[in-house]
A and B are shown apart, each in its own frame.
Chain A
Amino acid sequence: MMRLELVKRPQRSMLFSALSPFIAFVLTMIAGAIMFALLGVNPLNAFQIYFIEPISQVWQLHELAIKAAPLILIAVGLSVCYKANIWNIGAEGQFILGGIVGSIIPVLFPQFEGPLVLPLMLLLGMVGGAAYAAIPALLKTRFNTNEILTSLMLVYVAQLFLDWLVRGPWRDPKGFNFPQTIQFNESAILPELMPESGRANWGFVFALVAAVLIWILMSRMLKGFEVRVLGSSPRAGRFAGFGLNRMVFFAFLLSGALAGLAGISEVSGAIGQLQPVISPGYGFTAIIVAFLGRLNPLGIVAAGLVLALTYLGGEAVQSALGISDKVARVFQGMLLFFVLGCDTLIHYRIRLIGLAAPKLETAPKLEEAR
């Protein structure tokens, strides 16, 4: 019988800090191969269909960008929260509210056209997402309520609210009773980047800009320093005069606004109207993206593209091999598991010891790093 033992490293390992996402990816591949084999599919064939074919043509790269954009937008916002040790896991709800509030103009005022429409919609989307995120922030700061549970409960409420809107007051009167709003008019549609080669829209540009801005914020500005100090040691942050309550609001409003922007970009770009369901779980997958990208905005861009591929691959294996597209969710979950496990290697050395072996050596005395 063997036992795992963790030995704390004197300082974090730069090597494993860089390597761990790749180790995690390889481990996910191995586990995925086993899974495909269990499903009775040749793993190599499945991988070809899952990971290679969906990105082998230019128009498919556009589809990848469409899926990656909301993931990156939401995840860079969440990375600020998680760095500050604030747990917003309700981005899915903020995404939906962004989509709803941003759609007020094209749904209720369809006559309103012109170049002003789109910027206003995007702004309203951000306001909607931020306002919805303000609820758990307010409850946390005022009443000390656990933000994990409140932000998550609000996801269900948002989903039901959207469902009510598109089946009730906002339903297209000429839509044959389908639960959807009217098609947005031309000036409310987010333009495509390169219409001649594919469908990708400006949402992807927003995502890249947001990633760069958050990167600057976190690495070059005082606010970013504040986030990191409060996240790793609230006590030290208090001594430095950083307010924890203000930080809770800052993190929630920022991540909510970005999730809202992602929501309205998705609705006005990829969908073109409101439907009962506007997200295949982007808000939750973005949590994985944030961790896979090491809570670093630039890493998140890469992670967002990888996770977007898992969505496309899931659709591909469903149509080619008849496997449920839930396989995408399994890949995403496994990836996060392995990333978290590999991250242990950054702070600890892992030693396998037999239970019977005598413990002779003593651990080096180390100052508590944290």
Chain B
Amino acid sequence: MDITVNILLTVATAATPLLIAAIGELVVERSGVLNLGVEGMMIMGAVGGFGAGYLTGSPWIGLLAAIAMGALFSLLFAIMTLSLATNQVATGLSLTLLGLGLSGMMGTNFVGQPGQRLPNLDIPGLTSIPVVGRLLFGQDPIFYISIALTAAVMWFLFKTRKGLTLRSIGDSHSSAHALGIQVIRYRYLSVVFGGACAGLAGGHLSLVYTPQWVENMTAGRGWIALALVVFASWRPWRVLAGAYIFGAVWIGQLHAQAFGIPVPSQMLSSLPYLATIVVLVLISRNKRLTMMNTPASLGQPFVPDR
């Protein structure tokens, strides 16, 4: 029983950064913007979170710094694609490349240093309940944030007027503009929200998952988060399910390596990436379904004419 609980806990820990980054990107894409810079914003959040935690000695300040770093970095993307109408694919790519370089440079002095870890929740009486206690009341704070965030985004997008407006912008920015909606303002806020989420996801990696700084420690998770949004056909609860499936794949291959299964470890390590491809194929082969769910103006630059 204990082993099962432990495995479930590690799956949740692996799924949380994917979930947060993907939920953020989902909002961005629902507003019609494709930000391929998730990996870059995530790694910036990771280095910012680790650095602030290490320098101040407080993981909570690290957490805030991670969020701020991601948001700030995404602002760069917003200015480029929204105010200067640059190509979103190319700009997102350059955000990732810049983030990987910048984080490596900023983190030079952090390599090998001991980091700060966010403490797990510990409620006397509740956390010690057998089996469910640790699953429900004994996880790291970002886990709870991720669940709350998913619920909040679900509520915002589908139960509020502003959420409806945001979705309508993603489906047709020119109609939304004609109705007097501030397309660019909504998109700015969405992109920065997505950046804050990606930063938080990166902070989870360097403040909870492995509390240390390793170059390129995101290891493609930002890209997997992007794939998750497609896999989830832009629905928050499916992102949640997808993130946990991928968390399970990620943890499963680590356990398999630890058990010494006679398969090369590199092959096991490549499983999450191969699984991403397989999942994308399965979900995209139904062309009509994909077309129906994709925000219609996704990735197209918008320049308001007066």
> Measuring CB to CB, which residues of chain A are less than 8 angstroms from any residue of chain B?
4, 6, 8, 87, 89, 139, 142-146, 148-150, 152-154, 156-157, 160-161, 163-164, 167-168, 284-285, 287-288, 291, 323-324, 326-330, 332-334, 336-337, 340-341, 343-344, 348, 350, 359, 362-363
Contact = CB atoms under 8 A, between A and B. Distances in A.
- Secondary structure type dominating chain B contacts: helix
A76 to B, nearest CB: 17
- Secondary structure type dominating chain A contacts: helix
Contact of A327 (B97, B105, B226, B280): B105
Contact of A363 (B86, B226, B305): B305
Contacts of B104: 324, 326, 329
A328 B98 CA distance: 10
Contact of A145 (B94, B220, B281): B281
Contacts of A139: 277, 280-281
B228 to A, nearest CB: 10
B130 to A, nearest CB: 39
A160 B99 CA distance: 23
B36 A143 contact: no
Contact of B274 (A142, A153, A334): A153
Nearest to B91: A340
Interface string B72-87: 0000100010011111
| Most chain B CB inside 10 Å of its own CB: which residue of A149, A157, A168, A341 | A149
B97 A153 contact: no
B233 to A, nearest CB: 13
Contact of A4 (B83, B100, B269): B83
14 contacts: A6-B83, A145-B277, A149-B227, A152-B220, A160-B266, A160-B270, A161-B266, A287-B97, A330-B101, A337-B95, A340-B87, A340-B94, A344-B84, A348-B85
B281 A333 contact: no
| Most chain A CB inside 10 Å of its own CB: which residue of B85, B91, B98, B285 | B98
B126 interface: no
B223 A336 contact: no
A332 B97 contact: yes
> How extensive is the interface on chain B, given as a class?
35 or more
Given A139-B277, A160-B266, A330-B101, A363 B306 contact: yes
Contact of B220 (A153, A329, A333, A341): A153
A323 B104 CA distance: 11
Contacts of B102: 326, 329-330, 333
B97 A333 contact: yes
A343 B86 contact: yes
Nearest to A153: B273
A299 B24 CA distance: 37
B86 A150 contact: no
A144 B287 CA distance: 7
B303 interface: yes
Given A145-B280, A153-B223, A157-B273, A164 B266 contact: yes
A344 to B, nearest CB: 4
Contact of A149 (B76, B87, B223): B223
A329 B100 contact: yes
B101 A143 contact: no
B98 A337 contact: yes
Interface in B92-146: 93-95, 97-102, 104-105, 108
B257 interface: no
Given A341-B84, A362-B306, A363-B306, A153 B94 contact: no
A288 B95 CA distance: 11
B274 A337 contact: no
A93 B90 CA distance: 19
Nearest to A135: B277
B264 interface: yes
Q: Which 3 A-B pairs have the closest CB atoms?
A: A329-B101, A333-B98, A326-B104
A341 B83 CA distance: 10
B226 A156 contact: no
Contacts of B94: 288, 333, 336-337, 340
B226 A149 contact: yes
B165 interface: no
Contacts of A327: 101, 105
Contacts of A143: 281, 284-285
A150 B280 contact: yes
Contacts of A146: 227, 230, 280, 284
Given A149-B276, A328-B101, A337 B80 contact: yes
Contacts of A160: 266-267, 269-270
A284 B226 CA distance: 18
A6 B303 contact: yes
Contact of B273 (A142, A156, A164): A156
B217 interface: no
Given A156-B220, A329-B98, A340-B94, 15 more contacts: A4-B84, A87-B89, A89-B93, A144-B287, A164-B266, A284-B97, A288-B94, A291-B90, A323-B105, A324-B104, A326-B108, A329-B105, A340-B87, A359-B306, A362-B306
Nearest to A162: B266
A26 B227 CA distance: 36
Nearest to B81: A340
B58 to A, nearest CB: 24
| Most chain B CB inside 10 Å of its own CB: which residue of A87, A163, A326 | A326
B220 A337 contact: no
Contacts of B93: 89, 287, 336
B10 interface: no
B97 A341 contact: no
B80 A149 contact: no
A170 to B, nearest CB: 12
Contacts of B83: 4, 6
B172 interface: no
A324 B91 contact: no
